[in-house]
Homo-oligomer: A and B are copies of this chain.
């Protein structure tokens, strides 16, 4: 009797798998035994300190046994698999087969009688228990909108406030986003403050980078005096929720040289040979406006607890979503501890890892607990790159621990593709981000106004909001329609609310990328009445200057229709509906209509599956 390959599993059980509230978890395993006995297997499931609940497993054609478990509680769940020989069923089968063959069964009936009186779980074996962390639904699927609260003043260059940011919420909610994310809102250091476009010397009026955190008025638990107060943050979080939005704050665990901790806790920093505190550097680059925390300091427990208290402080103001700046420059062990601690206190807390690091580092951050991870999506341009990259992200175990959150741009990233400024580029990158991964985000209003002027020679915005105040003319924002449409499609089509079913399809035109998603097996939950379980097929051109046509060859096994079936594809994004047939169908994309987001459904009036 043997149980092996129990899933979901991450690193042999070292880390928990991830799901969200309302998911149906499929637990599966290879169960096998010598001989020809009747086998039974079940999943045992419990949450927290609850009792084990069994769910019978069924054997599939491939010998893999599985059972489904509805995840109706946030927090840490435990699952294990048990299997045994059912002697009674074995004898019953023996007797039935012999009777069918007209053979005597007297002795077998006596054996059945004896087996019925004995313990029924012969050769019982159990797998080790595995963990599954069930997070808020937002952790699994969310659309993010980032803006700088100090640049919310219309028409004139003046330092904005959190109160003005509240006024901006209606606009963001109108676009259909789920999360509104603000860069750091704390006091900004003066020492070595950066000037416009990352200039080494700032002028007297320059506002500095919000990521250079802390001055004499306070550090990570304070609010920049020109933005407002902690009370304003509470009001902002509350107002966001009234708009159906969650407020996300930035956790950038680093300090300006003026941060109170530099004076109060010099032991939390790296001390150089001359007794001074080391600034950040990655030679030959120097970051004089930042001093990194030393997570290995002798006093590390006090530092770690102080950082946890920072998170607790903002949670107390109603914030439960955090975008974590550069987590890959802090120890994995710190994040594993911090996230577990915070989710123990409130399992609905969400952490997004902003790391654009090597894949092993990205994956490890996800394993140690981050709810979501930024991706290298901005640099995947061709259909081949997109396919390789996203297949890698959802392949094998990765889909059990890493949840992609794809951004076309950020304040730090303006790719050469976007610098072209073509409307089609913006539209296509938006469609790809919003459909390739269940979570995505944009840095606005730069995105919807199609800002595309770079700092010369860099993949960054010129006149970057990171270093100066900006004003945006939202009235002329030209992509708000597309954003609103896409967010509505994402809310309606369950297929787009997860990444596990992502399949790429062949197109004979290698400038066109084609992929599909199907709805998860079954989803529990309330607000799903308007949702559709139909498959979604996305077709996007990567040529933004000329018309591209091609024949798509669909892997129908991923989608439902048979090879000779007719079906309807409804373009939820660009409009129009078409009758398609079988695997091979023609698509035509132009710079004006560069993307389809098709809902696949049976022909109206035709035979239903």
Contacts and interface: CB of A to CB of B under 8 A. Distances in A.
Interface of A: 1-2, 4-5, 11-14, 30-36, 62-63, 93-94, 97-98, 100-101, 103, 107, 110-111, 114, 123, 272-274, 281-284, 296, 327-332, 358-361, 363-364, 367
A4 B398 CA distance: 13
A114 B331 CA distance: 22
A315 to B, nearest CB: 24
A100 B331 contact: no
Q: What are the 4 tightest A-B residue pairs by CB atom distance, in nearest-first order?
A: A12-B12, A101-B284, A110-B273, A97-B283
Given A12-B12, A13-B12, A283 B94 contact: yes
- The winner among A12, A101, A103, A283 for most chain B CB atoms within 10 A is A283
Contact of A364 (B14, B32, B330, B363): B32
Contact of A283 (B1, B35, B101, B281): B101
Contacts of A281: 94
A33 B30 CA distance: 34
B332 A1 contact: yes
Nearest to A4: B11
Nearest to A100: B284
A331 B34 contact: yes
B32 A360 contact: yes
Contact of A107 (B31, B100, B272): B272
Nearest to A329: B35
Nearest to A105: B283
Contact of A103 (B12, B30, B32, B283): B283
Contacts of A107: 272-274
18 contacts: A1-B331, A31-B360, A32-B358, A32-B361, A34-B328, A34-B331, A34-B361, A35-B329, A36-B282, A94-B281, A94-B283, A100-B284, A101-B283, A103-B284, A107-B272, A107-B273, A111-B272, A123-B296
Contacts of A328: 34-35
A331 B284 CA distance: 64
Contact of A34 (B5, B114, B332, B367): B332
A291 B506 CA distance: 57
Nearest to A273: B110
A332 B273 contact: no
A5 B282 CA distance: 29
- The winner among A35, A36, A107, A272 for most chain B CB atoms within 10 A is A35
Contacts of A330: 34
Contacts of A332: 1-2, 33-34
Contacts of A2: 332, 364
Nearest to A328: B34
A284 B34 contact: no
Contacts of A274: 107
Contacts of A14: 4
B32 A114 contact: no
Given A63-B360, A273-B114, A11 B1 contact: no
A223 B238 CA distance: 88
Given A272-B111, A273-B110, A4 B364 contact: yes
Contacts of A101: 283-284
Contact of A11 (B5, B35, B359): B5
A147 B35 CA distance: 28
A113 to B, nearest CB: 9
A98 B283 contact: yes
Contacts of A363: 30
A36 B328 CA distance: 9
Nearest to A355: B34
A30 B360 contact: yes
A53 B500 CA distance: 43
A172 B274 CA distance: 82
Nearest to A5: B11
- The winner among A31, A329, A363 for most chain B CB atoms within 10 A is A363
A5 B396 CA distance: 13
A114 to B, nearest CB: 7
Contacts of A36: 282, 329
A49 to B, nearest CB: 27
A101 B286 CA distance: 12
Nearest to A15: B4
B4 A63 contact: no
B63 A358 contact: yes
Given A11-B5, A101-B284, A329-B35, A111 B273 contact: yes
Given A63-B360, A103-B284, 17 more contacts: A1-B332, A4-B11, A4-B14, A12-B12, A12-B13, A32-B360, A32-B361, A32-B364, A34-B329, A63-B358, A93-B283, A94-B281, A97-B283, A101-B283, A103-B283, A107-B272, A107-B273
